[in-house]
Amino acid sequence: MTPALSTRGLAKSFGSLIVARDIELSLPQGARYALIGPNGAGKTTLINLMTGMLAPNAGQIFLGEDDITALEPQERVRRGLARTFQINTLFPGLNALEAVTLAVAERRGIAQQFWQNVATYKETIEEAHDILVKLRLGDSCYQTTRELPYGRQRLLEIALALATKPKVLLLDEPAAGVPPEESGDIFEAVASLSGDLTLLFIEHDMHVVFRFASHIIVLVGGGIYAEGSPAEIAANPGVREVYLGTRKHG
């Protein structure tokens, strides 16, 4: 079966600084993959390359059967590749409902309509509201984004990505910066995501990784150091060595 997302020979460097070296990865449909590695390994860079925010020096990216290497970021989103940001990249002045409605409207192709009040687009709004409710944001959906507590903002990050009805979702440290009491919400939300959705998430917390991932990719210095099932990775002495200097929290 064609993998949901795959890359071939993906490489990127800034002058003499190599941030991605010959990356070959392949995510089967419905996968729950984790991308781990020390700081500076190039994990977010890889996501930026795959989503089109950064142009590679070499290599190709495939969404299903389609070569998306030359496509602009918004085109990739339309084809079903979405991502969340490690640092909240939200619309501070919009309330949560407006933000998700906007994302749904863009997907439905009605965002250029300038004559009817947005309130008349019943299905769009209901779809947005449903997404928010599913992520337990229903009761705060009227709050302005900048007033939301940090944990809820992280959930909104995911809501915005889900609004695009992705086939593949790349989560960049979804619980980053969230206090431990609230991070449970986030992972429950991630766990409740449909089995059809292919997930790749960057994570530092090994407990989370071992709980949610069926397959782990270890990135070091821009290249894939090892990959395999959680058991294989846990037993890999090289991986532990690579992490010894950087793991601060268990």
Partner 1 sequence: MALAETVRTPQLYLQGLSRWRPIEIAFWLATLLPYWLAPDYLSLASQIAITALFALSLDLILGYAGIVSLGHAAFFGIGAYTAGLLSKYGWGEPLTGLAAAAFTAAIVGYATSFIIARFRHLALIMLTMGFGLLLGELANSAGWLTGGVDGLQGIHTWNLLGYFHFDLYGYTAYGYSLAVLFLLFLGARRLIHSPFGLALRGIRENWTRMPAIGAASRTHIQMIYTISAALAGIAGALLSETTQTVSLDSLSFERSAELLVMLVLGGAGRLYGGLVGAAIFMVARDQFSGIEPQYWYFWIGVLLVVVVVFMPNGVLGGLAKLYARWRGR
d(CA 192, CA 190): 5
Amino acid type, 1 = M
Tell me phi and psi for residue 130, to 5 degrees: -60, -45
Residue 36: which H helix or E strand, with range?
strand 32-36
Shortest distance (Å) from residue 225 CB to partner 1: 28
- 135 to 164: interface string for partner 1, x by CB under 8 A: ------xx-----------------xx-xx
Should residue 6 be labelled a site residue for partner 1 when binding is judged by CB under 8 A? no
Is the distance from CB of 220 to CB of 242 less than 8 angstroms? yes
Instruction: Report the residue number, 116 or 194, with the smaller CB distance to partner 1.
Output: 116
By CB under 8 A, tell whether 64 contacts partner 1.
Answer: no
Q: Letter for the amino acid at 94?
A: L
Closer to partner 1 by CB, 99 or 220: give it.
99
Rounded least distance, CB 4 to partner 1, Å: 18
Least Å distance, CB 101 to partner 1, is: 7
Angle made by CA atoms 239, 187, 88, in degrees to the nearest 5: 90
CA 181 to chain centre: 22
Binding track over 162-191 against partner 1, x by CB under 8 A:
-xx---------------------------
We find the least distance from the C-beta atom of residue 142 to partner 1, in angstroms, to be 6
Report the C-alpha gap between 102 and 110 in whole angstroms. Answer: 9
d(CA 71, CA 94): 29
Binding status of residue 129 toward partner 1 by CB under 8 A: yes
CA 213 – CA 69 distance, rounded (Å): 27
Taking CB under 8 A as the criterion, the residue among 1, 15, 16, 114 binding partner 1 is: 114
Q: What is the identity of the amino acid at 245? A: G
Taking CB under 8 A as the binding criterion, the range among 31-39, 62-70, 76-84, 171-179 that sits at the site for partner 1 is: 76-84
Nearest distance, CB of residue 11 and partner 1, angstroms: 23
Rounded to the nearest whole angstrom, what is the least distance from the CB of residue 86 to partner 1 in the complex?
13
Name which of 32, 35, 36, 37 is nearest 214 in CA terms: 32
- 36 near 219, Cβ under 8 Å? yes
Interface residues toward partner 1, by CB under 8 A:
51-53, 72-74, 77-78, 82-83, 85, 89-94, 97-99, 101-103, 105-107, 110-119, 121-122, 124-126, 128-129, 141-142, 160-161, 163-164
